[in-house]
Amino acid sequence: MQKWQCTVCGYIHAGETPPDQCPVCGADKSLFVPYQEEDAGAAPAAPAQPAAARAATRWQCTVCGYIHTGSEPPDQCPVCGADKSLFVPLTEAAETAAETGSDTKPAEPEEALSAPKADRAGFKPPWEGNVRLTALAKRLTQLHGHPIAVHIPNGVLPVAVLFGLLAMMFRSESLAQAAGYNMLLVGLAMPIVIGTGLVDWVNRYGGHMTSIFKNKMICAGVVTILSLLLAIWWLTAPDLYQRGLFANWFFILLHLINLGAAGLAGWYGGKLVFK
């Protein structure tokens, strides 16, 4: 079966011809190229094994979907940090789907929730058991609510820190106001980011508390607390930024820690998405 790869996002389509439009990024069919599974100079491939034989050496993480090839699963998922007990043999059905031309695409919430999942370690979302809220949560994941929400603090926070540093350098009241209000906006946006992230964590990853999700939650908490703290500090001391750089070293340090926590959370998120 011929395979085609989108040159924009890397999506792989199986079929005699490329799709009219990439279902992931929307790229036109002209931006697809034939997908080569092996380099031209590589040694000839070994005879194809039956799907069942291949499945025995391929393991899928039930949390993030990462696929490992080997005689046994890894001790820890290199993407999400899940324990080896959360890996399952890649099913023959999944192998057959790939061979018969089924498109490779990220799982939708319904598919993710119906996939084999290990015990959620007792976590129960507040909307569990409520049909309407459960449907709303799934819809929010389908519409990519969390990636949309997280772009607000990710975009505004660096600007707030930059304005803050400039305000202290030039003792500018207008820059101080810009920094303070932007930081306040970040703090007020974070509950939405955390809420949509919780929904995605349950819908896409089964609510498993692995190391990567624990670290993301810690980072989100740090950004929320520091953003509100810095904004309130400025509101209660309007001349704070006018005191200059050297008199505000602790204030600057909190800004940098806040920015670092947001960047680390984004790095973990990218690790989940671009595995």
pLDDT digits (tens, 9 = 90+) for 72-85: 999 999 999 999 98
Same domain, residue pair 68 and 186:
no
Report the interhelical angle of 173-205 vs 131-142 (nearest 10°).
Answer: 110
Q: Which of 59, 88, 105 is the last residue of a domain?
A: 105
Domain-embedded: residue 112: no
Domain-embedded: residue 118: no
Same domain, residue pair 36 and 75:
no
The total domain count for the chain is 3
Secondary structure of 159-199 as H, E, C letters: HHHHHHHHHHHHCCHHHHHHHHHHHHHHHHHHHHHHHHHHH
Residue 97: both structure tokens together: 């789907």
Same domain, residue pair 172 and 255:
yes
Residue 261: both structure tokens together: 């926590």
What pLDDT sits at residue 38? 53
Domain-embedded: residue 180: yes
| C-alpha to C-alpha distance for 142 and 155, rounded to whole angstroms | 23
Same domain, residue pair 170 and 253:
yes
| C-alpha to C-alpha distance for 254 and 221, rounded to whole angstroms | 14
Reduce the DSSP state of residue 60 to 3 states and report it.
strand
The pTM of the full predicted model, rounded to 2 decimals, is: 0.75
Structural domain including 12 reads 1-47
Q: What Rg, from alpha-carbon coordinates, does the chain have?
A: 23
Which residue stretches of the chain have pLDDT < 70?
37-56, 91-122, 275
Same domain, residue pair 39 and 56:
no
Answer whether 191's CB lies under 8 Å from 149's CB: no
| C-alpha to C-alpha distance for 225 and 62, rounded to whole angstroms | 32
What pLDDT sits at residue 91? 64
What is the tally of helices (H) and strands (E) in the chain?
8, 6
Same domain, residue pair 141 and 268:
yes
Strand 67-69 and strand 58-61: pairing?
A: antiparallel
- How confident is the model over 159-207, as pLDDT tens digits? 999 999 999 999 999 999 999 999 999 999 999 999 999 999 999 998 9
Domain-embedded: residue 125: no
Token look-up 């099913």 returns 91
Q: Which of 87, 105, 123 is the last residue of a domain?
A: 105
Same domain, residue pair 165 and 36:
no
Same domain, residue pair 1 and 60:
no
Domain-embedded: residue 9: yes
Answer whether 262's CB lies under 8 Å from 183's CB: no
Answer whether 53's CB lies under 8 Å from 60's CB: no
What pLDDT sits at residue 153? 95
Same domain, residue pair 79 and 21:
no
What pLDDT sits at residue 112? 44
Taking the CB of residue 170, how many other CB atoms lie within 10 A of it? 14
Strand order in the sheet with 12-14: 12-14, 3-6, 32-34
Domain-embedded: residue 117: no
What pLDDT sits at residue 31? 87
Same domain, residue pair 37 and 141:
no
CATH code where residue 67 lies: 2.20.28.10
Answer whether 14's CB lies under 8 Å from 2's CB: yes
